[in-house]
Structure 1
Amino acid sequence: MTTDVVLNTLIPLAERGATMNITLLTDGQIVQGDVIPASEYFEKVAQIFEGLGHESGRELSQVYLDTGKRVKAQEVEDRVIADQAASEAREAEDDHDSQPKRHFIHLKNAAIVQSSQGGVTALEPKLLRIKLDSISGWSFGSFTLDN
């Protein structure tokens, strides 16, 4: 997991409804997109599989739906624990990390910046799950090309 405190804070903010566009440097690739909660990622992937219209698609959809429900419940529980820990930290004037540990960041409207080709390639289905350990740099906003 990345030790970047700000990047780790973006995930619970997304779980609370905040929308942020970010650019990530991961494994030598530049990726951009909007941070979303893990539960939203799993729900959107489930919709894609359901839309395939065959039995294996429905089965995969159900796996993602079930995972999304478990993740959503965990997000709510984590929020309650984090709020309680933050409240206790404020009372004790302790500055310890009260955020639950995350291992992945999830993006919608995801795209890969192709520096050698001078363009941005949108991913289909525009969803991406990235392991936080693989992120070596990041910034707010997205990459645009200057003509």
Structure 2
Amino acid sequence: MSENTKDNILEFFVTAANKHDFELDISLLVHGAIVTGTLISATEYFENMSQSFEDGSDISQKVSQQLSEAGESADSGNQQEVNFIHLKNTKIYCGDSKPTPSKGEILWRGKLEEVDSFFLGRIAEPKSKSKNNDK
């Protein structure tokens, strides 16, 4: 059984996102599923996650605080090794079916070493044909 390794080029993109707020539309093959979205920094990921818990109960607010602190830690630049990739506006395709989730702005976090391959660009569902097909 071979040991999982990270793709150096993908790791470079993730490092650029984390250090320079670089965003990139990307699609990943992860264990047979295609994960497509926009690469974002770990800091942006944790900030967005934190905001989704802010207005809830005391427990939700505690979770929000913990996520915010994780974002600050990611932003501190002390990380020498990149282990996770973060996407926003994520869709996951398994086979020929519609993506999961099909609606909403979804954040996704995955292990960099679990990505089998990638390509630049996002997969988008075809736009529905307009009723005016004069051309």
Which structure 1 residue ranges, 5 or more long, are not aligned? Answer: 79-99
Report the residue type matching 2:57 in the other structure: H
1:71 and 2:74 correspond? yes
- State which of 12, 18, 25 in structure 2 corresponds to 1:21: 25
Could you tell me how far apart the structure 1 residues matched to 2:105 and 2:125 are? 23
Please, what TM-score do these two structures have when normalized by structure 1? 0.73
C-alpha displacement of 1:14: 1.4
Q: Which is richer in helix?
A: 1
Q: Report % sequence identity.
A: 30
SS of residue in 2 equivalent to 1:66: helix
Which structure 2 residue ranges, 5 or more long, are not aligned? Answer: 128-135
Please, what TM-score do these two structures have when normalized by structure 2? 0.79
SS of residue in 1 equivalent to 2:116: strand
SS of residue in 2 equivalent to 1:120: coil
Could you tell me how far apart the structure 1 residues matched to 2:8 and 2:113 are? 13
C-alpha displacement of 1:144: 3.8
Q: Hey, which bits of structure 1, 4+ residues long, moved more than 6 A?
A: none
**Residue deviations 1:37-72, cap 9 Å, x none?**
111111110000113x21111010011011111111
Report the residue type matching 2:16 in the other structure: L
- State which of 87, 97, 106 in structure 2 corresponds to 1:107: 87
